[in-house]
Chain A
Amino acid sequence: MTGQTLYDKLWQAHAVREQDDGNALLYIDRHLVHEVTSPQAFEGLRLADRKPWRADSVLAVPDHNVPTENRNAGIADPVSRVQVETLESNVASYGLRFFPMQDLRQGIVHVIGPEQGATLPGMTVVCGDSHTSTHGALGALAFGIGTSEVEHVLATQCLWQGKSRSMLVRVEGDLRPGVTAKDVVLAIIGRIGTAGGNGYAIEFGGSAIRSLSIEGRMTVCNMAIEAGARAGMVAVDEKTIEYVRGRPQSPSGEMFERAAAAWRDLVSDPDARFDRVVEVDAAEIEPQVSWGTSPEMVVGITGQVPDPEQEADPVRADGMRNALTYMGLTAGMAIRDIRPDKVFIGSCTNSRIEDLRAAAAVVRGRRKAENIQLAMVVPGSGLVKQQAEAEGLDRVFLDAGFEWREPGCSMCLAMNADRLEPGERCASTSNRNFEGRQGQGGRTHLVSPALAAAAAVAGHFIDPAELEG
Chain B
Amino acid sequence: MKRSIMICLVFFSLTAFLSCDLDETQTVTTFNNLVAEDNFDVDGAPDPNIWSFEIGDGTAQGIPGWGNNELQFYTDRTENVKVENGFLLITAKQELFNGAGYTSARLITKGKLETQYGRVEARMRLPFGQGMWPAFWMLGDDNNGTEIWPNIGEIDIMENRGQEPTKIIGSVHGPGYSGGNAVSKEYNLENDRFDTNFHVFGIEWGPNYINYYVDDVLYNQITPKDVPGEWVFDRPFYIIINLAVGGSFVGSPNNQTVFPQTMLVDYVRIYN
Question: Are A and B co-members of a single complex?
Answer: no
Residues of B participating in the A interface, judged by any CB pair closer than 8 Å:
none
Residues of A participating in the B interface, judged by any CB pair closer than 8 Å:
none
